[in-house]
């Protein structure tokens, strides 16, 4: 500080009768540093005032020019002025220190607020990205749901037509044994109808309207029981198949035939993605989804799952292709090389089974398809592999056929008469109830699930069983209905013959129900 300026601000003058000396002691302890005024020694008996600050100690010394006089008339005035000078130095210094400390605290608070703001911004960006991803998945799910409803309805109508085509073609094959050319044409028709049946079956699987008949099984055992051999036979020698099975694998409740079709479809897609050869790896193990995992992927549910992961070293897929792989009839293969229903069928089957599905792929880095099926705590079902079917036999029982499609009804009637059964027909539920009231010797009700006339097949069967408890019931349908299927599975004790069916399948199913 400039003491001359300080004196001037305080209203003092340089011609005071005393001199002022300012010495200092810094924070390191070094003392005796004179900053202002003449040198003062203890013998001079100066008036001393000390000011202690964080940076050191300041000492203000005052001494009369002519030395001390005991009777000096202005001694108290001089002392008061000296104290005032000390205050003028001390107060601004303290205020400056407080201001600097407040400034430092403000900067620290500002930095803390800025850090918190950046953290909130990152969380907001993460939440926005998750919301955008969820919206994309929701739109994809809604689109697949809408397409599934459409394909389910189309498959239902096609299955009615295929039932008639397949059945009549089979009858022609049997009755044209002496006409080779016509018999060959009939066999071609049978094969075409069966391919059409497979196509509609894939559509129903995608739309989750194919009735599943699951049983509790060990996925690893299911792969061992013939599926691994089938998969290896579909692959050329340039592609190696490696299967890893975890120990103590949990059980899952799955339709075994649909599981085999699903894995076969995935492996065939992997094979087509490696024209020059490569490797396919199937990994089967247990998986657990906790709250943290589900939080990052809301499509999943917490719980225990059996995981099947199929990975290939093929050419992979770009992002735009990957976003459409589950759409029916979408394919990257050449025209005529695939229907585009493989992965859509896989998607529908997994979802209908209560599971989850994830697919990852990158160009030139291969593809990975992962299936998750909920763990089952029930006991493993007994396998029927190797059991031979009972021989097909005819019958003489009386059967009530209820079918609102005239072509299908006529076809079924002809088939049943050919097998030796007696047949009574009805177009809808109310007509069937009238026949039940009038006819006493009926052994079996063979009804479509979807009927016109205000009564579906399940309602008809319940009403008929109320009047005839001993009456046997066999349902048929081109796709699953909530009347007999819940959560994608047939209700207990329900017998269903899915359309289209062959002549031998009809005969076997009838005998199974009647016997």
Shared domain check, 223 and 202: no
Joined together, the tokens standing for residue 42 give: 């203890």
Q: Distance between CA atoms of 19 and 37, rounded to whole angstroms?
A: 7
pLDDT at 387: 45
**404 within a domain of the structure (yes/no):** yes
Shared domain check, 231 and 185: no
- On the 0-12 / 13-18 / 19+ scale of CB atoms within 10 A, 258 is buried
**486 within a domain of the structure (yes/no):** yes
Q: Distance between CA atoms of 253 and 275, rounded to whole angstroms?
A: 35
Residue 79 CB contacts under 8 Å (≥ 6 apart), including other chains = 47
Backbone angles phi, psi at 440, to 5 degrees: -95, -25
pLDDT at 72: 56
Judge contact between 285 and 319, C-beta under 8 A.
no
In sequence order, what are the beta bridge partners of 369?
Answer: 310, 359
Which one has a higher pLDDT value, 362 or 199? Answer: 362
Q: Distance between CA atoms of 148 and 480, rounded to whole angstroms?
A: 13
Shared domain check, 410 and 505: yes
**pLDDT at residue 477 above 60?**
yes
- Domain total for the chain? 3
**pLDDT at residue 443 above 50?**
yes
Q: Distance between CA atoms of 86 and 109, rounded to whole angstroms?
A: 34
Q: Which residue, 10, 59, 2, 52, is CA-closest to 34?
A: 59
What is each CA distance from 449 to 86, 158, 244, 458, 459, in whole angstroms? 106, 16, 43, 6, 9
Q: Distance between CA atoms of 318 and 315, rounded to whole angstroms?
A: 10
pLDDT in tens, 123-159: 888 778 777 766 766 666 666 666 666 666 666 677 7
Annotate 213-228 with three-state secondary structure: CCEEECHHHHHHHHHH
Shared domain check, 220 and 202: no
75-175 and 406-418 are packed helices; what angle lies between their axes, rounded to 10 degrees?
50
Shared domain check, 345 and 269: yes
pLDDT at 313: 92
Reported pTM? 0.50
**93 within a domain of the structure (yes/no):** no
Beta strand pairing call for 278-289 and 239-245? parallel
pLDDT at 3: 66
pLDDT at 405: 86
Shared domain check, 317 and 221: yes
Judge contact between 308 and 282, C-beta under 8 A.
yes
In sequence order, what are the beta bridge partners of 279?
Answer: 240
- On the 0-12 / 13-18 / 19+ scale of CB atoms within 10 A, 372 is buried
Shared domain check, 344 and 226: yes
256-272 and 342-352 are packed helices; what angle lies between their axes, rounded to 10 degrees?
150
pLDDT at 308: 94
**411 within a domain of the structure (yes/no):** yes
For the segment 484-509, the average pLDDT, to the nearest whole number, is 75
Classify residue 135 as left (phi > 0), alpha (psi -120 to 50) or beta: alpha
**419 within a domain of the structure (yes/no):** yes
Q: Distance between CA atoms of 430 and 216, rounded to whole angstroms?
A: 39
Shared domain check, 187 and 221: no
pLDDT at 446: 94
Shared domain check, 438 and 361: no
| Average pLDDT score, the chain | 79
Q: Distance between CA atoms of 420 and 431, rounded to whole angstroms?
A: 24
Q: Distance between CA atoms of 129 and 149, rounded to whole angstroms?
A: 30
**pLDDT at residue 486 above 80?**
no
Beta strand pairing call for 472-477 and 444-448? parallel
**191 within a domain of the structure (yes/no):** yes
Joined together, the tokens standing for residue 32 give: 């005796």
pLDDT at 400: 94
For the segment 312-326, the average pLDDT, to the nearest whole number, is 84
**31 within a domain of the structure (yes/no):** no
**459 within a domain of the structure (yes/no):** yes
Range of weakest confidence among 104-108, 389-393, 454-458: 389-393
Q: Distance between CA atoms of 286 and 267, rounded to whole angstroms?
A: 21
DSSP symbol at 382: P
**Going edge to edge, which strands form the sheet with 18-26?**
33-36, 18-26, 56-64, 47-53
Shared domain check, 274 and 171: no
Q: Distance between CA atoms of 273 and 269, rounded to whole angstroms?
A: 6
Q: Distance between CA atoms of 98 and 144, rounded to whole angstroms?
A: 68
pLDDT in tens, 341-361: 567 778 878 887 888 888 899
Backbone angles phi, psi at 386, to 5 degrees: 95, -10
Give the three-state DSSP class for 379.
Answer: coil
For residue 251, the enclosing domain spans 216-376
Residue 84 CB contacts under 8 Å (≥ 6 apart), including other chains = 10
pLDDT at 35: 75
Q: Calculate the CA dihedral of residues 452, 455, 458, 464 and round it to 10 degrees.
A: -120
Q: Which position has the token pair 């063979």?
A: 446
Q: What is the CATH number of the domain that holds 473?
A: 3.40.50.2300
pLDDT in tens, 225-253: 778 888 888 888 899 999 998 889 999 98
Shared domain check, 331 and 302: yes
**pLDDT at residue 300 above 50?**
yes
Shared domain check, 473 and 409: yes
pLDDT at 386: 43
Q: What is the C-alpha radius of gyration for the chain, rounded to an integer number of angstroms? A: 46
pLDDT in tens, 66-95: 777 655 556 677 777 778 777 777 777 777
Q: What is the CATH number of the domain that holds 365?
A: 3.30.565.10
């Amino acid at each position: 500080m400039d003491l001359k300026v300080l004196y001037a601000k305080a209203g003092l003058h340089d011609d005071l009768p005393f001199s002022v000396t300012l010495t200092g002691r810094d924070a390191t302890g070094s003392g005796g540093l004179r900053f202002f005024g003449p040198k003062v020694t203890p013998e001079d008996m100066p008036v001393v005032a000390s000011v202690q600050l964080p940076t050191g100690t300041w000492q203000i010394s005052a001494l009369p020019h002519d030395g001390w006089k005991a009777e000096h008339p202005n001694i108290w005035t001089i002392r008061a002025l000296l104290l005032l000078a000390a205050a003028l130095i001390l107060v601004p210094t303290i205020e400056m220190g407080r201001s600097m400390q407040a400034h430092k605290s403000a900067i620290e608070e500002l930095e803390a607020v800025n850090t918190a703001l950046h953290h909130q911004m990152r969380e907001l960006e993460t939440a926005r990205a998750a919301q955008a991803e969820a919206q994309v998945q929701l739109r994809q799910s809604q689109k697949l749901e809408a397409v599934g409803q459409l394909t389910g309805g189309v498959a239902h109508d096609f299955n009615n037509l295929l039932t008639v085509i397949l059945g009549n073609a089979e009858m022609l094959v049997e009755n044209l044994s002496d006409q080779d050319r016509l018999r060959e044409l009939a066999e071609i028709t049978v094969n075409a109808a069966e391919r059409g049946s497979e196509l509609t079956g894939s559509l129903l699987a995608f739309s989750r309207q194919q009735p599943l008949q699951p049983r509790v099984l060990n996925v690893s055992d299911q792969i061992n029981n013939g599926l691994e051999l089938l998969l290896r036979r579909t692959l050329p020698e340039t592609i190696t198949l490696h299967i890893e099975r975890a120990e103590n694998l949990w059980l899952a409740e799955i339709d075994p035939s649909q599981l085999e079709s699903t894995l076969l479809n995935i492996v065939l897609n992997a094979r087509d993605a490696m024209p020059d050869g490569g490797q396919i790896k199937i990994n089967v193990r247990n998986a657990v989804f906790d709250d943290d995992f589900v939080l990052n992927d809301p499509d999943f549910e917490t719980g225990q799952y059996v995981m099947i992961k199929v990975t290939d070293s093929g050419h992979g897929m770009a992002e735009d292709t990957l976003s459409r792989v589950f759409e029916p009839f979408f394919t990257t293969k050449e025209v005529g090389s695939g229907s585009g229903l493989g992965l859509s069928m896989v998607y529908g089957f997994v979802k209908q089974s209560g599971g989850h599905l994830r697919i990852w792929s990158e160009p030139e880095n291969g593809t990975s398809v992962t299936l998750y099926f909920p763990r089952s705590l029930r006991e493993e079902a007994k396998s029927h592999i190797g059991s031979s079917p009972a021989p097909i036999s005819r019958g003489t029982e009386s059967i009530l056929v209820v079918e609102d499609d005239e072509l299908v009804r006529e076809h079924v009637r002809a088939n049943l008469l050919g097998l030796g059964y007696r047949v009574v027909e009805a177009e809808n539920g109310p007509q069937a109830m009238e026949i039940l009231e009038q006819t006493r010797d009926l052994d079996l009700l063979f009804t479509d699930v979807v009927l016109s006339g205000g009564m579906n097949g399940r309602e008809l069967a319940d009403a008929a069983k109320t009047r005839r408890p001993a009456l046997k019931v066999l349902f048929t349908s081109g796709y699953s209905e909530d009347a007999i299927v819940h959560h994608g599975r047939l209700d207990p004790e329900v017998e269903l013959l899915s359309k289209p069916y062959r002549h031998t399948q009809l005969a076997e199913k009838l005998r199974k129900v009647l016997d």
